[in-house]
Amino acid sequence: MLRKFDKNWQIPLHDSGEVERMTRQLNVPVALAQLLCARKLTPEEGRRFLSSSFSEVEPPTALFGCEKAAELILQGIDNNESFVIYGDYDVDGMSATVVLYRIITALGGKVNYYIPSRHDDGYGLHNHTVENLAQQGYNWLVTVDCGIRSLEEVALANRLGLKTIVTDHHPPLESGELPPALAVVHPAIPLNGKCTPELSGSAVAFKLAWQLCCAKMKSANVGDRLRNILLELLGIATLGIVADVVPLIGDNRILTANGLKYLRNRAPIGIMALLQGLSLHEQPLSAENISYKIAPTLNAAGRVGDPNKAVELLLSIQPPKAQSLVSLMLEWNSKRKNLEQEISRQAEELVKEQYLSEDDNPFLVLAGQGWHEGVLGIVASRMVERFHRPTIILSIPNSDDSEKPCSGSARSVEGFDVAAALAHCSDILTRHGGHKMAAGLSVREQDIDAFRQKINEYAKEHKAELSTDEPEYVDAEVPLSALTMETLLAMEAMEPFGKENPKPTFMATNVGLASAPRLLNSYGGVQFDFYQNGVTVKGVAFQHPSWASEFVNTGSQSFDIVFQPSINRFAGRTSVQLRLLDWQSRE
Ligand SMILES: [Mn+2]
């Protein structure tokens, strides 16, 4: 019985001359040179990529508005004026808040912070929050991770006597109009014809902190005290870079590589307490630890608790205080998980009732009474994973606030622009906004059916974009003999991995099995001994227990495998291990 790959794997064409040049110029193993070529880097770019040296980061003066903002903030500090940092309730916004709060404090300024509430305020600046802050008597309002489209709110702040600086990384208005702030710091606005559009909000804040130190010391050499503070803030900013899923290339990647290095050696007290609470303190911290463990835990505070407490944790300097805040974070995170599971279960029921019988509806619109608004986005993502269709999850308000429209979160599949689909239905919606893969909306309960119908008509017209057979890429085909420990150690210089810098993925063809695959445990792990031309390498597959017997049932002696190689470090020993992603049998 023949088995084909589950996925449509594509291998980019390699120019052997280019690979040879890369191998020679950088003095790296061939497999690593193939990777760098597959990632479309020139030898010079490859060298910078592998070195990840902090000196390769663009200086803060290259960031639009950064010098001006730093100058203004230093003036404010000199005049003994007070600042409020206006952040966001996600990890990027929280870490950006901490970065500016800490640096202004360190420079002797009076500063506080305000994190809007996801539930009561919603994302970004609002007239009522601006009025509140003006009333509290602050002189300066500095936004992080928000504000670039808040023209009206910034104008209000101006009228109320709040001097405003906007720092953000979200796309500016299509018209190019900027908020009327005293300074706008934004990576997508070109300065001298150059920009670095993909920086996270926390990376923008970090660059402003860096520039503040340079301007204060009137030198690129900021001295030991400020340098140590900046290193700590780089560690904090790294949380935001990884959590916001910005591309991990260029500045974002170098900042993250250096920030992770710092956190591994000298995590600040709050982060150390969190690492312990999540049992991550005994291994080297990775970008994946941040994506899958740390960020969801801190984000839970913004979803179902109080994001101010997460900021407090990142700022804490006393272990007992930090530990009690970590307990709170863990409690909120398990509340978030429970809500997510319960609502996902109800949403799946709705799909079974409403959709599988009429599967010509390619767009899932699912609504439930009183569903917690803090988890709608994650539930939508789960439904996309489960049913491979773009999904909107709507929360119908409980009857006591019947005037309130239902708010919802949309998540899409690769290739289908969900923001455009919502814009097409704008006449039915009371609010909508977002981007291709994720968006938010609100709609009145009585309009949900009409909306479901209209967005499905739109999705049917754009059916081609809903194809599930999107190609996936392997970096190269390699012989198993190329995957030596030396090569894998050299490949570690490509870390940290993330968006646009995925883990190296290879294909090997004509591979045999040295022994029958073994089921490892009840979680569905399967272990393999692959061999090819006299080389045997261990492999492991997760979540596919059936593969153990399927390999044998093909009756085939020879397979093509797609895998990610890694170094298995166990009990002081190291070995090469392949994580099997997909496979097919050959005749
Ligand atoms: Mn952000």
Look at residues 287, 261, 263 and name the one whose alpha carbon lies nearest to residue 54.
261
Whether residue 450 lies inside any domain: the answer is yes
Cα separations (Å) of 511 from 45, 539, 558, 560? 34, 12, 5, 6
pLDDT at 13: 83
On average, the pLDDT of the chain sits at 93
Of 307, 338, 369, the one marking the end of a domain is 338
pLDDT at 356: 66
Is the pLDDT assigned to residue 186 strictly greater than 70?
A: yes
Q: Are residues 155 and 252 in the same domain?
A: yes
Output the CA 145–ligand 1 centroid distance in Å: 5
Whether residue 19 lies inside any domain: the answer is yes
pLDDT at 385: 87
pLDDT at 303: 95
Whether residue 47 lies inside any domain: the answer is no
Region 351-373: mean pLDDT is 84
Is the pLDDT assigned to residue 47 strictly greater than 70?
A: yes
Whether residue 45 lies inside any domain: the answer is no
Output the CA 468–ligand 1 centroid distance in Å: 29
CATH number reported for the structural domain that contains residue 167 in this entry:
3.90.1640.30
Output the CA 529–ligand 1 centroid distance in Å: 44
Output the CA 298–ligand 1 centroid distance in Å: 14
Output the CA 194–ligand 1 centroid distance in Å: 21
| Residue indicated by tokens 């994720």 | 438
| Residue indicated by tokens 């191998």 | 23
Output the CA 135–ligand 1 centroid distance in Å: 27
Q: Are residues 134 and 19 in the same domain?
A: no
Output the CA 98–ligand 1 centroid distance in Å: 14
Q: Are residues 70 and 137 in the same domain?
A: yes
Q: Are residues 163 and 76 in the same domain?
A: yes
Output the CA 438–ligand 1 centroid distance in Å: 13
Output the CA 195–ligand 1 centroid distance in Å: 17
Predicted confidence (pLDDT) per residue in 88-144, tens digit: 999 999 999 999 999 999 999 999 999 999 888 888 999 999 999 999 999 999 999
Output the CA 517–ligand 1 centroid distance in Å: 44
Region 222-239: mean pLDDT is 97
Output the CA 23–ligand 1 centroid distance in Å: 37
Is the pLDDT assigned to residue 469 strictly greater than 90?
A: no
For residue 512, which amino acid is it? Answer: G
* DSSP 3-state of 201: helix
Is the pLDDT assigned to residue 465 strictly greater than 90?
A: no
pTM of this structure: 0.90
Q: Are residues 68 and 199 in the same domain?
A: yes
Output the CA 171–ligand 1 centroid distance in Å: 11
Q: Are residues 155 and 201 in the same domain?
A: yes
pLDDT at 137: 96
Output the CA 528–ligand 1 centroid distance in Å: 41
pLDDT at 357: 58
Is the pLDDT assigned to residue 569 strictly greater than 90?
A: no
Output the CA 144–ligand 1 centroid distance in Å: 8
- Among 105-119, 389-403, 412-426, top mean pLDDT goes to 105-119
End-to-end CA distance of the chain: 9
Output the CA 372–ligand 1 centroid distance in Å: 22
Q: Put residue 118 in one of left, alpha, beta given phi > 0 → left and psi -120 to 50 → alpha.
A: alpha
Predicted confidence (pLDDT) per residue in 15-37, tens digit: 899 999 999 999 999 999 999 99
How many domains in the chain?
Answer: 4
pLDDT at 433: 85
Output the CA 147–ligand 1 centroid distance in Å: 11
Output the CA 198–ligand 1 centroid distance in Å: 10
Of 466, 484, 515, the one marking the end of a domain is 466
Is the pLDDT assigned to residue 206 strictly greater than 80?
A: yes
SS3 assignment for 384-405: HHHHCCCEEEEEECCHHHCCCC
Region 236-257: mean pLDDT is 94
SS3 assignment for 215-256: HHHCCCCCHHHHHHHHHHHHHHHHHHHHHCCCCCCHHHHHHH
Q: Are residues 63 and 121 in the same domain?
A: yes
Q: Are residues 333 and 360 in the same domain?
A: no
pLDDT at 14: 81
pLDDT at 361: 82
Output the CA 488–ligand 1 centroid distance in Å: 33
Whether residue 49 lies inside any domain: the answer is no
pLDDT at 402: 65
Q: Are residues 283 and 252 in the same domain?
A: no
Predicted confidence (pLDDT) per residue in 290-330, tens digit: 999 999 999 999 999 999 999 999 999 999 999 999 999 99
Output the CA 90–ligand 1 centroid distance in Å: 8
Output the CA 509–ligand 1 centroid distance in Å: 42
The values of phi and psi at residue 184, to 5°, are -125, 125
Whether residue 1 lies inside any domain: the answer is no
Whether residue 44 lies inside any domain: the answer is no
Q: Which residues pair with 569 in a beta bridge?
A: 574
Q: Are residues 133 and 233 in the same domain?
A: yes
Output the CA 244–ligand 1 centroid distance in Å: 6
Output the CA 103–ligand 1 centroid distance in Å: 19
452 pLDDT tier (thresholds 50, 70, 90): very high
pLDDT at 224: 97
Output the CA 536–ligand 1 centroid distance in Å: 45
Is the pLDDT assigned to residue 404 strictly greater than 90?
A: no
401 pLDDT tier (thresholds 50, 70, 90): low
Q: Which residues pair with 214 in a beta bridge?
A: none
Output the CA 312–ligand 1 centroid distance in Å: 19
Is the pLDDT assigned to residue 263 strictly greater than 60?
A: yes
Is the pLDDT assigned to residue 66 strictly greater than 80?
A: yes
Output the CA 420–ligand 1 centroid distance in Å: 21
Q: Are residues 389 and 517 in the same domain?
A: no
Output the CA 170–ligand 1 centroid distance in Å: 7
The string of DSSP letters for 539-575 reads: EEESS-TTHHHHHHHT--S-EEEEEEEEEEEETTEEE
Whether residue 350 lies inside any domain: the answer is no
CATH number reported for the structural domain that contains residue 451 in this entry:
3.10.310.30
pLDDT at 388: 85
**Domain with 191 in it:** 56-266
Output the CA 97–ligand 1 centroid distance in Å: 11
Look at residues 174, 160, 161, 245 and name the one whose alpha carbon lies nearest to residue 203.
245
Output the CA 436–ligand 1 centroid distance in Å: 16
Output the CA 260–ligand 1 centroid distance in Å: 19
pLDDT at 524: 77
Cα separations (Å) of 296 from 299, 303, 337? 5, 10, 10
CATH number reported for the structural domain that contains residue 25 in this entry:
2.40.50.460
Output the CA 95–ligand 1 centroid distance in Å: 10
* DSSP 3-state of 332: helix
Output the CA 435–ligand 1 centroid distance in Å: 13
Is the pLDDT assigned to residue 513 strictly greater than 90?
A: yes
pLDDT at 358: 54
Of 231, 266, 301, the one marking the end of a domain is 266
Look at residues 562, 565, 522 and name the one whose alpha carbon lies nearest to residue 545.
522
Q: Are residues 209 and 281 in the same domain?
A: no
Handedness of CA 28, 29, 30, 31 (dihedral sign): negative
580 pLDDT tier (thresholds 50, 70, 90): very high
The region of weakest confidence among 55-59, 196-200, 321-325 is: 196-200
Output the CA 199–ligand 1 centroid distance in Å: 9
